[in-house]
Structure 1
Amino acid sequence: MASVVVTGGTGLIGKAIEHVINTEPVGSKFGKLPDETWIFVGSSEADLRDPEETRKLYEKYKPTHIIHLAALVGGVYRNMKYKLTFLRDNILINDNILHTAYTHKTAKVLSCLSTCIFPDDVVYPLDETKLHSGPPHESNFGYAHAKRLVDVQNRAYKEEFGCNFIAAIPTSVFGPHDNYDLENAHVIPALVHRCYLAKKNGTPFVVGGSGKPLRQFIFSYDLARCFIWMLRNHDDVEPVILSVSEEEEMSVKEIADAIVKAVGFEGQYSFDATRSDGQFRKPASNKRLLELMGGFEFTPFEEALDLSVKWFSENYETARTGNTT
């Protein structure tokens, strides 16, 4: 009987995988198999920086398969301030998961990386061959190097011990159960929260920056289906970018316009061009993903955004919003 443990199981992607596993028909392409047990583990259950706690977690659940999502994550300012903390904590988490999977003969580990680990100076679009072709952006120094090491470790474990350790590289993710803390949230949840508060309080909705930068986003439920597919069907140590196509890049203004519509905000709405835009664009290719899967139907952006905003509005009191009221 298969036992799938999802680390970071209470976060955005973990909750999306749980939703898909619980709603797709049993035995279907993205559904639970009849002989499977799925366990979603949060940080309260084990400190994965500690090898002994990691070992006890493995011995408790005896996973045959792992989807490894757990990580120390944060916004750009936290990443810049705590470079060593992000580097060391994530190295410890990843090393403990992979080494304990090896010692406990886990059949497969699928780890989650991020497109922010790609080189800063690179020819676009990003693709899987460019992962180690230069240093990452300085703002992601600690996190990016720790996550890159997962790919290095996967290859070393496979070469030396034959382990089936693989990795996925998602672009920016959004959806229900996102982190809406205004100090640390990514662009979509941050703008959704700001727009929600502007509507609630009758204040202007101000978007930082010019609105011109371009971004790719993948809906968390779509990403969950891709993870489940990879767990079932993909055994190549070469990582796979999980993303919508380059042609689906959207400007921050287009995203903000869609959020205004989804929230139903009718007040004053403007952009503060004195604030930094950050990186203008960092498009990634999903060519390899579509070749491997034989195509995939992504949820239309506005439909996915409506679902996300609806969840946030209905769960505002318990969502991850930080201390803002």
Structure 2
Amino acid sequence: MNKDSKIYVAGHNGMVGSAIIRKLEMEGYKNIIFKRSSELDLTRQTEVENFFSFEKPDYVFLAAAKVGGIHANNSYPAEFIYSNLMIESNIIHSSYIHKVKKLLFLGSSCIYPKMASQPIKEESLLNGYLEPTNEAYAVAKIAGLKMCEYYNRQFGTEFISAMPTNLYGPNDNYDLQNSHVLPALIRKFHEAKISGVKEVVMWGTGTPKREFLHVDDLADACYFLMLNYKGNETVNVGTGKEISIIELAHLVGDIIGYDGAIVKDITKPDGTPRKLLDVTKLHSLGWEAKIKLREGIESTYTSFLQR
């Protein structure tokens, strides 16, 4: 990837896409293209084909997706599978038609079986049933990474895929109905602190364990993989460390300075019991996460306050 290469970042307004743009600009790339959703509907094949025909990007980071937490995934499965299938199919196919030199597709760790052996290796894919609450999203993401694999096999393209663990950081979604657990906790504890509420309600039992990766670390990994990786097998991107949801809640509360009680709402779903990625492959390629969880949450809370 040369400094003057034309690079398309799909999903540039999102948490991941904006982090990738920050990373590229920091590395000195100037020729970055993107379109707002009001200008380009990625679910419309004709619009995407016309965009690629006109812009002819050299490299593509496919970070665009319809995303959400357990509630959103469980409540709107048709919207999640349709939007994500359309977005990835249109961009991957147009990248092939218009001879994009390399594409990086971003999936999600929810592609792996609900009861996969821990830590989860890349080869665990399709070895068991999925977590029902986010199955629609997972099926769409599996289709995207397989599409990259099959296009490589049939057409000789260079489309790679990366599977990040749970993400957090600047530009996250803090909507309490549709957000992921960490931004939801940040908002809940912040609002409880400023309003003087004596307890914060946390979804589920608090026992599931999760791995959290700062989005700037993910952007750094994506850049690294675009420069250094070529292959059909997806690459896990994570920290290799996990924390229980109740421990996370106490950590967030401590960072925000909230000293009230934490109440568990066990009527809400827990999701997958444990989800830790095996990042041996990524480490062997020469990349490791740098941002520690407490440090990352502190900087994320600062960006939340600035919003």
Return the TM-score normalized by structure 1. Answer: 0.88
Structure 2, unmatched stretches of 5+, are none
1:100-179 to 2 correspondence within 5 Å? 100-179=94-173
1:279 to 266, 272, 275: 272
Q: Does residue 265 of structure 2 align to residue 265 of structure 1? A: no
1:223 to 218, 221, 244: 218
Assess if the C-alpha contact under 8 Å between 1:10 and 1:41 holds in 2: no
Taking every aligned residue pair, what percent have the same amino acid on both sides?
A: 32
Q: Does residue 205 of structure 2 align to residue 213 of structure 1? A: no
2:231 to 224, 236, 243: 236
Counterpart residue identity of residue 104, structure 1: H
Assess if the C-alpha contact under 8 Å between 1:14 and 1:40 holds in 2: no
Structure 1, unmatched stretches of 5+, are 25-30, 316-325
* Secondary structure at 2:302 match in 1: helix
Cα distance, 1:253–1:121 mapped onto 2, change above 3 Å: closer
Counterpart residue identity of residue 100, structure 2: T
User: Partner residue of 1:190?
Assistant: 184
- Root mean square deviation of aligned Cα: 1.7
Counterpart residue identity of residue 165, structure 2: T
Counterpart residue identity of residue 137, structure 1: E
Once the two structures are superposed, what CA deviation does each residue of 1:85-128 show, in whole Å capped at 9, x if it has no partner?
32222211111101111111111110000010111232222111
**Structure 1 residue 292: deviation in Å?**
0.8
* Secondary structure at 1:241 match in 2: strand
Cα distance, 1:297–1:97 mapped onto 2, change above 3 Å: closer
1:305 to 267, 280, 297: 297
* Secondary structure at 1:109 match in 2: strand
Assess if the C-alpha contact under 8 Å between 1:172 and 1:217 holds in 2: yes
Assess if the C-alpha contact under 8 Å between 2:5 and 2:31 holds in 1: yes
Q: Between Structure 1 and Structure 2, how many residues are aligned?
A: 302
Counterpart residue identity of residue 116, structure 2: V
Once the two structures are superposed, what CA deviation does each residue of 1:239-285 show, in whole Å capped at 9, x if it has no partner?
1000001xx2111122112211221223x222225344332212211
Q: Does residue 21 of structure 2 align to residue 18 of structure 1? A: yes
Following the alignment from structure 1 to structure 2, what is the Cα–Cα distance between the partners of residues 73 and 94? 13
* Secondary structure at 2:262 match in 1: strand
User: Partner residue of 1:28?
Assistant: none
Cα distance, 1:206–1:273 mapped onto 2, change above 3 Å: closer
Once the two structures are superposed, what CA deviation does each residue of 1:130-189 show, in whole Å capped at 9, x if it has no partner?
112223222222211111111221121111110111100000000011010100110100
